[in-house]
Amino acid sequence: MTRARSFWTGVWAIAYREATVLRHDQAFLSMIIAQPIIMMTLFGWGLRNEPANVPWVVLDRSQTTASRRLVGDIQATGYFLPPVAVPDYPHGEARLRAGKAIAMLVVPQEFRRDLERGAARVQLLLDGSDPLTSARIGAYVAQVTARAAPGRAGPPPPRIDARQRFWFNRTLSDSHFFLAALVGMLLTNLCLSTMAQGIVGERERGTYEQMAALPTTALQIVLGKIVPLVGISLVILLVVQCAVGVVFGFWPQGSWAVLVVVTIPFVLASLAIGVLISALARSTAQSVFISVFAILPSFVLSGVMMPYELMPDGVRQLGGLLPLRWYQIALRAVIARGAGLVDVLVPLGALTGLLVVLLALASWRLPRRLG
């Protein structure tokens, strides 16, 4: 009995000591409080299955009151942004390939005449690389055309048949949606978790002072620590995409060179986030906790797990601050839709801008001396 009491007295003594340490760990307590609130907000308010703010284009060859009324009825559903008019198929296809539009409505020249005869057809081209959004958009447009009667009145009402065609993923395979952004999730996890422990680990081992004593600037230290991992990330990119192609038969439709070009600023920006986390954390445990806390919102808000177009205003714009948001846009454009370098200039520019800002923040927060 005495030995058991002594044993548990020792356990409670250590537990009291650890509780005291954690109670004074402000970073740990802040994350414990903030993480449930943020994740609850994201999953409860930020994620939706209902399309919103959908970009689309219209090729109106009819240019009649009936065709404009049909476009207006679709716009009135509240799911779509104002349509962009295109003069021909190639212009519409270019916007779909670049990810600037998810749907393209084609109204034939004889639309009004056919409508007056009782039945008309329109074509709806959808970006199949995003199966969830495309299927829902097709269903909403079909509902509008089924009840629309923008021609004559009286029974029987004119009928509009919306012929749907899916591009880039004709079978609407969900695996293509996730596989196209798989390497983005892997590289985010690698860059943040590895680099977040880099500087804080050197401080704990006592080797950071030796590096800080070198005649280098903070920016040189940051770049020197992240450059080797860029090569590893490019190898992972090539291995993963080849494995996906061999196992699932899903090869990149676009250029491998473009994939490398957009990957480099993304990896550098993600590694810079890891350096910033490592500079802020005081221990390896803190860096691991903060990196996990950063990785989860990146997966949720970036659009790799669910299309970011489905997110409400505010949450969607917040995701634009994450490198993974722009990288997954570029990945799906190149891998699933065969986009070229010109088509991914916007995400490439956003990644470059984020890289500059993150490098500046990491260099500013990087301690030049211990203590």
352-371: pLDDT as tens digits? 999 999 888 877 776 554 44
| Range in 6-15, 150-159, 247-256 the model is least confident about | 150-159
pLDDT at 77: 85
What is the mean pLDDT of the segment spanning 216-242? 81
Q: What is the helix (H) or strand (E) element at residue 160, kind and residue range?
A: strand 159-167
Instruction: Confirm if 46 and 311 have CB atoms less than 8 A apart.
Output: yes
Identity at 248, one-letter amino acid code: F
Instruction: Confirm if 59 and 106 have CB atoms less than 8 A apart.
Output: yes
Q: Which two tokens stand for residue 191?
A: 């860059």
pLDDT at 301: 84
Instruction: Confirm if 338 and 320 have CB atoms less than 8 A apart.
Output: no
Under DSSP, is residue 124 helix (H, G, I), strand (E, B) or coil? strand
* Closest CA relative to residue 177, chosen from 135, 222, 221, 115: 135
Kindly indicate the confidence band of residue 318, based on its pLDDT and cuts at 50, 70 and 90. Answer: confident
Average pLDDT of the chain is 80
pLDDT at 153: 47
- The pairing of beta strand 159-167 with beta strand 119-127: parallel
Q: How far apart are CA 12 and CA 2, in angstroms?
A: 15
pLDDT in tens, 26-52: 666 666 676 566 656 655 665 566 677
Under DSSP, is residue 196 helix (H, G, I), strand (E, B) or coil? helix
pLDDT at 152: 47
Output 41 or 107, whichever has higher pLDDT: 107
pLDDT at residue 182 is higher than 70: yes
Q: Which two tokens stand for residue 88?
A: 């021909």
pLDDT at 142: 86
| Range in 89-93, 285-289, 325-329, 343-347 the model is least confident about | 285-289
pLDDT at residue 219 is higher than 80: no
* Closest CA relative to residue 107, chosen from 86, 82, 79, 78: 86
pLDDT at residue 197 is higher than 50: yes
Q: Which residues of 165-204 are buried (b: 16+ CB within 10 A; e: fewer)?
A: ebbbbeebeeebbebbbbbbbebbbbbbbbbbbbbbbbbe
pLDDT at residue 154 is higher than 70: no
Identity at 14, one-letter amino acid code: I
| Range in 143-147, 148-152, 296-300 the model is least confident about | 148-152
In the chain, ranges of CATH 3.40.1710.10 domains: 56-167
pLDDT at residue 203 is higher than 80: no
Give the percent of the chain with pLDDT over 90: 19
| 56-167 to CATH, choices 3.30.420.40, 3.40.1710.10, 3.90.870.20, 3.40.50.1820 | 3.40.1710.10
pLDDT at 27: 61
As a whole number of Å, the end-to-end CA separation of the chain is 47
